[in-house]
Structures are given as C-alpha cells and as structure tokens.
Structure 1
C-alpha cells in the first residue's frame, strides 16, 4: 500500500441489498445472497474482507519473490472467516497458502513469513477504531 490515504464510497438505495462501491476510479457491487433478501449480484461484505486480505497477501508475496528472483509460478490462498455468532471478543480468519514452482523449503518458509507483512494483515491484526459521523 502506498502512503496515500485510501478512500471508498458506498451507496445503497432501496435495492435489497445490492450496494455500489467506488474507490480510486474503480467500481464493484457488494450484495447479500438471495436467501438473506439480496440479489446475489456481488460478494458479501465478509467475502470482500477476505478478498482484501487474500489479494494483499498474494501481492506482497509476489513482490518479494520477484525481488528475490524466486522461481514462484502461482500463489493460491484459501480463506474463511468464522460465523457471525462466533464473533464475540475475537474473530478467527483462517488462511491457507499454496505455492507452485521450483522453491526450496527455506524459500517457502520465508514466503510464509512475508505473508504476515501484508498491510491488510497488519491492519486486521491490530486493534481497529472506527470513527463514525453523520453528514448533514
């Protein structure tokens, strides 16, 4: 991540629950499954959170592997988050990383260490304070 502040704007009209998400000139939808009253036309907010962690992890690993000239072909990251009723004082996200390519055991171990250096991992591993205000 750069030192520039990252911003996003979400908009939800009377649609159930398809939400427009804008950031940095890009646009996606977030939604809920039909079983929850949504249209299932986008990822759920929790899936977007996991996608942020997974993509940030993969990008961080790729940057490091390229810089060190590791023979890393692909990175696959499977993520899951505990159910909402299990989110009391802590939330558990599981992350399983798979590498393909000609890598030594030492290189694989180093890439696993680098995975925890991704900015989104750092954000999610520290206390988060959310300041909310209304706009008139």
Structure 2
C-alpha cells in the first residue's frame, strides 16, 4: 500500500486554481498568497497569458533543484555562488513516458568532487523524486463551500531538508 500524506497536510498545502472567465483556458493560481495566471498558448486556443501546465511542472523541477542545491551547499559551507537550472519537457504521445531534460549551471570555486556531489544531490530533490517515482492522484468532488484558502505547512521544505540530510 503506498504511503500517503494526511488530509491535513494536503489541505494546508493546497493550491487553489480557478477559471478567470477570460478566454477559454486562463486560470488564476493562488499559492500561499501569491497569485499568477496559467493559460494555453495562442496556437492552442489560449491567450498565452501565462505558463501552461507542463511549464509549471518543469518550473517546479527547476525551482526544487535550485533550492535543494543551495541548501546542500550552504550546509556544507561550499563556495557555491549561483545555481541556474533550465528544464524542458517532451513526450512523443499521450501514452508515451514523459521526459524532462534538466541542465544545471553552477558557479563558484567548487572542486570536481563537489560538482559531482551536487549532481547526485540534484537527483534527490523532492520534485525529481516525485516525478521519478510517479504519484497517486486522489480525486473527489466537493461542494463549493468546502473550497478555501490557507497558509501551508512547509511540506516541500521538510522534504528538501530530508534530501540534503541523506547525503
């Protein structure tokens, strides 16, 4: 039986996505007080007013990788000056396996062993592990009054910290 996150963790870390009523696909995303738009490109019937869902998934991988490397280097007191991650997504068909290509650039007076170790740590970032493992998605319909806003629990930060402690 797969390990699951408690309903409390899911509710506290929930991201709210609602249609804006503008265009066919535009949605507003609210995540811990930040608000931004997602949309489909104009060529696919959207307005191009924000990243598409796969852009957001690739961004999650890049952000998590960057943050995890920064946290690890800081804990080790390594001279990491800057981390930059470029992620692209591809899939040949709806039933084909997805591929995320991640290019990591680090600057600083790091030796080769440190760079190799950072590559290993990149594969331990929580979003990378989620994508590599796959995930269970539980869907249920709820009454409109049950939808709400909240502040989050820092679940990602806890998982990222655990990834760094394993090394």
For normalisation by structure 2, the TM-score amounts to 0.74
CA distance in 1, matches of 2:31, 2:141: 20
Q: Is 1:111 the counterpart of 2:111 in the alignment?
A: no
Higher relative contact order (CA 8 A, sep 6+): 2
Which position in structure 1 is the counterpart of 2:97? 90
Specify which structure has the higher proportion of helix.
Answer: 2
Check conservation: 2:20, 2:28, Cα contact below 8 A.
no
Q: Is 1:57 the counterpart of 2:65 in the alignment?
A: yes
Give unpaired runs (5+ residues) of structure 2: 1-8, 144-167
Matched position secondary structure for 1:131: coil
Which position in structure 2 is the counterpart of 1:12? 19
Check conservation: 2:85, 2:104, Cα contact below 8 A.
yes
Which position in structure 1 is the counterpart of 2:164? none
Task: Give the aligned length.
Answer: 134
Specify which structure has the higher proportion of strand.
Answer: 1
Which position in structure 2 is the counterpart of 1:36? 44
CA distance in 2, matches of 1:63, 1:4: 26
Q: Could you tell me how far 1:87 is from its partner in structure 2?
A: 4.4
For normalisation by structure 1, the TM-score amounts to 0.89
Check conservation: 2:25, 2:40, Cα contact below 8 A.
yes
Q: Could you tell me how far 1:68 is from its partner in structure 2?
A: 0.9
